[in-house]
Amino acid sequence: ESKESSALRKWIRDVREFAVEDTNRVAFSLKAGLAMLLVSLLVLITAPFEIFGANIIWSILTVAIMFEYTVGATLNRGFNRAVGSFIAGVFAVVVIQITLNSGDKAAPYIIGLSIFLVGAGTSFMKLWPSLVPYEYGFRVILFTYCLIIISSYRMGNPMKTAMDRLYSISIGAVVAVLVNVLIFPIWAGEQLHKELVSSFNTVADSLEECMRNYLRDGESDHRNFSKTVVDEFPDEQALQRCRATLNSSARLDSLANSAKWEPPHGRFTQLFYPWSQYVRVGAVLRHCAYEVMALHGCLHSEIQAPYNLRMAFRSEIVDAAIHAAELLRVLGSDVSNMKHTLRTLTLLKSVHTSTYHLQHSMQLHSYILTPTQLHLLDLTKKPTTNTFSNTLSLGDHEHLSCHDHIMKKQERRLHSWPSIEVDELEEDGGIDTEMIPKMRTLESTTALSLATFTSLLIEFVARLDWLVDAVDELSKLAKFKQEDVGP
């Protein structure tokens, strides 16, 4: 019995945690209960019941079916229900007129045929891709039509039946909407806003996690693959969330779809707030996250760069990843606070700088660090600094031309690869002394794995430009507050 009571206690704790984690859940439940209670009062109290009669149970049904989590979804369902009922009502009245004019004998055949046609027609239409969001509306048309026409056939007075039903449905709809909007409203727009912000943080977290795991001693990392595909494991929680972010496109779409139905509210005071731009930013962010997934692929790939080679480029990789993650977080907090700061531009520059360092370092070592050359140079003798600075300037020169080439391609773009860092790099004499250990490690195709990791990181950074642009566009459309650069 103590086992059962401890299981019960655990269950109660779980439920409480679930409720505390997001108090909206409790608010939603209480609101749903309240809305049901309000409509049922129309039956329980004698006075209104005498006015409305038994038809009022349709209000209850309407509330039960229409009450959704967010305001936007409820309004959207209400719209579907209203338009669906209206279409069904009009159609039913037309068919009833036809049956009245065609005599008692023909009536059941006409009604049967019309039910078949409406059933087949609405079912076909709701499969049509652009009509899929209105699936519920077609269902409403179907059953409202059938109910009106059947009750009119057996109970007479079709117009009264139709009207009674419509007004009791609208009472239910009004109660559902009022309770949903006026008491602790849960806005789809707010949810979308938060979800997008948290995606930024998720991608940033998993990028850093990836980088940390890559630079950790590698041998113990080579886990069973099937785990990485399907199950979770403890040290890659951020990546699991990142994967969830990748699969969230449908959720963002539906939230944006609901948010469009909502009136201006809270911080979103603008009419026709650009919710669709949120979906767009989400798409660009997912596009960045694909690169993180590929980086994650490097972690678990069969061919691995040796640990010391990875460590050789440690500081550059750490720099680039940390800066990129910070940029993501700042973008996220900018969206979160609905501000447009110039800090992102500063950060974008420093991301580019550190990426440039990484790229440059890789380039230097693709020049110098091949075993063949070591073979020719005689490894036992340390090369003089002179030789290296020679190569360095050559490298710089070549890289500059390549850089110019990219610059030309990017003329159309606002923030292209910055060129100031070249000078900074030339001042940075520390690189030279670190070159020797790197030389011996880049030996075979395993080194290509490192090149892949860094290239993916660089590509990730390149995509950040587009992300900054998309957020920029959002901040213009949504009229975010413009702010000067912070301290």
Residues within window 48-67 making contact with its own copies, judged by CB under 8 A: 49, 54, 57, 60-61, 64-65, 67
Among residues 52 and 261, whose Cβ is nearest to its own copies?
Answer: 52
- The residue assigned the tokens 């409720």 is 19
Rounded Cα distance, 74 and 136, in Å: 12
**Does residue number 178 form part of the binding site for its own copies (CB under 8 A)?**
no
The least CB distance from residue 487 to its own copies, in Å, is 32
Per-residue exposure over 61-80, b if at least 16 CB sit within 10 Å of its own CB, e if not: ebbebbbbbbbbbbbbbbeb
The least CB distance from residue 428 to its own copies, in Å, is 17
Rounded Cα distance, 140 and 130, in Å: 18
- What is the per-residue binding string for its own copies in 298-317, x denoting contact by CB under 8 A? x--xxx--------------
Q: Give me the DSSP letters along 276-344.
A: HHHHHHHHHHHHHHHHHHHHHHHHH-SS---HHHHHHTHHHHHHHHHHHHHHHHHHHHHHHHTEEETHH
Name residues contacting its own copies, limited to 371-410 (CB under 8 A): 371-373, 376, 391, 394-395, 398-399, 402, 406, 409-410
User: What are the tokens at 147?
Assistant: 């109910």
The least CB distance from residue 484 to its own copies, in Å, is 28
**Does residue number 240 form part of the binding site for its own copies (CB under 8 A)?**
no
**Does residue number 349 form part of the binding site for its own copies (CB under 8 A)?**
no
Q: For its own copies, which stretch binds (CB under 8 A), given 145-153, 200-208, 331-339, 430-438?
A: 145-153
CB 467 within 8 A of CB 288: yes
**Does residue number 130 form part of the binding site for its own copies (CB under 8 A)?**
no
Among residues 93 and 451, whose Cβ is nearest to its own copies?
Answer: 451
Q: For its own copies, which stretch binds (CB under 8 A), given 1-9, 18-26, 92-100, 258-266?
A: 18-26
Among 87, 93, 131, 147, the residue binding its own copies under the rule CB under 8 A is: 147
Rounded Cα distance, 429 and 401, in Å: 22
CB 48 within 8 A of CB 42: yes
Among residues 33 and 264, whose Cβ is nearest to its own copies?
Answer: 33
What one-character DSSP code corresponds to residue 481?
A: E
The least CB distance from residue 359 to its own copies, in Å, is 5
The least CB distance from residue 304 to its own copies, in Å, is 9
Three-state secondary structure readout of 330-384? HHHHHHHHCEEECHHHHHHHHHHHHHHHHHHHHHHHHHHCCHHHHHHHCCCCCCC
**Does residue number 119 form part of the binding site for its own copies (CB under 8 A)?**
yes
Among 178, 183, 225, 414, the residue binding its own copies under the rule CB under 8 A is: 225
Among 87, 293, 345, 436, the residue binding its own copies under the rule CB under 8 A is: 293
Rounded Cα distance, 271 and 297, in Å: 44
Among residues 251 and 267, whose Cβ is nearest to its own copies?
Answer: 251
Name residues contacting its own copies, limited to 319-348 (CB under 8 A): none
CB 354 within 8 A of CB 309: no
Name residues contacting its own copies, limited to 350-369 (CB under 8 A): 359, 362-363, 366-368
Among residues 217 and 302, whose Cβ is nearest to its own copies?
Answer: 302
